[in-house]
Amino acid sequence: MLKKLKRIVLIGFVMAVSVSQAAITPNPSAPSIAAKAYILQDFASGRVLAESNSTERLPPASITKLMTAYVVSHELAAGNIALDDDVLISEKAWRMVGSRSFIEVNTKVPVEILLRGMIIQSGNDAAVALAEHIAGSEETFAQMMNQYAQKLGMFDTNYRNTTGLPDPDHYTTAKDIAILSAAVIRDFPDHYKWYAEKEFTYNGITQHNRNKLLWRDTTVDGLKTGHTEEAGYCLAASAVRSDMRLISVVLGTRSENARAQETQKLFNYGFRFFETHDLYQAQTKVVDTKVWKGATRQIELGLAKPLAVTVPRGRYKDLVASTNIQQPLVAPIEAGSQLGQVELRLDDDVIAQESLIALHTVEQGSWWHRLIDSILLLIWG
């Protein structure tokens, strides 16, 4: 028998305020951005605030190294390598063209130095050395990169190397880079701090981070630049203002200054016209509801992960929250079972929607209790 859905308006969260639609000033559209593709996204809620051609497959240049670093961080977390491990530098790594960390062939360099050199200096030689140390070859490491891309939901991405040097089968999208950027920040905060470093010195050579926004905007704390003739000038960046973090990706701009200027436009627009609020924490009660034939008569429902919403600035009070809960709920019910949804609306738009799960297990009640509830269910349908 199909389970009925019951709609419940959540009490005590936010009450809809009667506002004349004519009195509400809509947000202005995003500024014009001179890039082949771009996206602006809130980190906490995931809401996209501006985008153009965000799913177009394009060469990412050295932004590729975000995934190279992400895989290295996973290997460190798994204990397969350590930051102080010495990496023997191969001739292939030493001969890499493009941006370099100036590591010497047949020398040994710690993983941490290589990782920071790749992140801050964009060293192609460091990227290849790390790949060979972890996977034996750059080609095998690229397969690992693609596996992590699939796990993260980057379905329009394919990596052929660790550096972003041109290859017709090496591509990604602005949307996928935003997904990866969020994962780098969320999953490895201790390593993310390196993306904010303005310079790095190795082998007596000091090189500056190519992300100009680190000097121009104190709220910017990463992520990665990229440039090839084919890709143009690219930048994935993140900034935090008043506890609100935004992620921006611009691909295919005309110059170093242009990628910084276009990113700054996006950040100024997003922070000026939107605000983000944390609504529910993971594994905390959102609502409780009746359970039939159970050892207890109520069950608490909540979310598996935190829920935040991003809304036009000044409109938070106009949000309306409601739940759809499967009915009837009949014991036994396992903790973690999906039993409905919570939905946030602003006017006619669904702002967020997440599954409600059982926060604890409810066992079957006594035979007498089950009998009474069976009769009541039969009577009440």
Give pLDDT, residue 327: 86
d(CA 117, CA 186): 21
Q: Which pLDDT band, with edges at 50, 70 and 90, does 288 fall under?
A: confident
Give pLDDT, residue 161: 97
This prediction has a pTM of 0.87
Give pLDDT, residue 380: 75
Instruction: Select which of 45, 65, 101, 181 is catalytic.
Output: 65
Q: Which pLDDT band, with edges at 50, 70 and 90, does 26 fall under?
A: low
- pLDDT over 80 (residue 93): yes
Give pLDDT, residue 330: 86
Give catalytic status of residue 374 as yes or no: no
Give catalytic status of residue 62 as yes or no: yes
- Cα angle for residues 340, 42, 198 (degrees, 5° grid): 145
Instruction: Select which of 62, 181, 238, 248 is catalytic.
Output: 62
Give catalytic status of residue 181 as yes or no: no
- pLDDT over 90 (residue 235): yes
Q: Which domains does the chain have, with CATH numbers?
A: 4-18+279-380 (2.60.410.10), 37-253 (3.40.710.10)
Residue indicated by tokens 């929607």: 353
**What residue spans of 210-329 are helical by DSSP H?**
213-216, 256-273
**Is residue 348 classed as helix, strand or coil in its secondary structure?**
coil
Instruction: Select which of 45, 101, 122, 238 is catalytic.
Output: 122
Contact 16, 318 (CB under 8 A): yes
Q: What is the CA radius of gyration of the chain?
A: 25
- The type of residue at 293 is K
Q: Which pLDDT band, with edges at 50, 70 and 90, does 209 fall under?
A: very high
pLDDT (tens digit per residue) in 99-112: 888 989 999 999 99
pLDDT (tens digit per residue) in 29-59: 999 999 999 999 999 999 999 999 999 999 9
d(CA 315, CA 25): 10
Average pLDDT, the chain: 89
